[in-house]
Amino acid sequence: MPGTDATVPVALQSVLLADNAAVAQASAPVDLGTVTLYPAGATGVTGAGDTVTLTAPGLYEITYNLGYDAATADATAQLQVDGVGVGSTLRQLTADAGSVGASYLFNAAGGEQVQVVLGNVTTLTGGELDLSVKQYEVTAEA
């Protein structure tokens, strides 16, 4: 019904974006470049340098996409949480131009550090990283 307030079981609380961050050849973990937080002043997530810190407990979705012009044939990209690779986010780069990415949804205790890490990279040209971290508010009732 229009004009009525509703309670939803899951609502987007904040978003951290790192768009079009240039990826250097030997960059592992990848520097995030300029980070923007929506809404400004949100406190559940911060980002600087090569690390995103989940400062509050809660449900988070982390998505990355790495585009490139050329790369070492056996190079990889992967999300790491507190220095441990998240297996389902491991992606193999191809020698030709391409794009790889993954998404990971999980409950964080707060204080976790997230990075996008490259492996086996000797050549990477034209690399660009897009990263988003969404923090959700979960209510007990629908």
| Between 35 and 21, residue with greater pLDDT | 35
Q: How far apart are the first and last CA of the chain?
A: 17
**AA identity, residue 65:** N
Average of pLDDT values for 87-106? 95
The number of distinct structural domains making up the chain is 1
Task: Assess if residue 105 is contained within a domain.
Answer: yes
Any idea what the CATH number is for the domain that residue 40 is in?
2.60.120.40
pLDDT band at residue 25, thresholds of 50, 70 and 90?
low
Task: Assess if residue 5 is contained within a domain.
Answer: no
Task: Assess if residue 4 is contained within a domain.
Answer: no
Task: Assess if residue 3 is contained within a domain.
Answer: no
SS3 state at 47 = strand
Task: Assess if residue 100 is contained within a domain.
Answer: yes
- Residue 81 belongs to domain spanning: 11-137
* Of 6, 38, 18, nearest in space to 135 by CA: 38
Residue 24: partners with Cβ closer than 8 Å, 6 or more residues away: 31, 124, 127
Task: Assess if residue 43 is contained within a domain.
Answer: yes
pLDDT band at residue 21, thresholds of 50, 70 and 90?
confident
Task: Assess if residue 1 is contained within a domain.
Answer: no
pTM of the model: 0.88
Task: Assess if residue 39 is contained within a domain.
Answer: yes
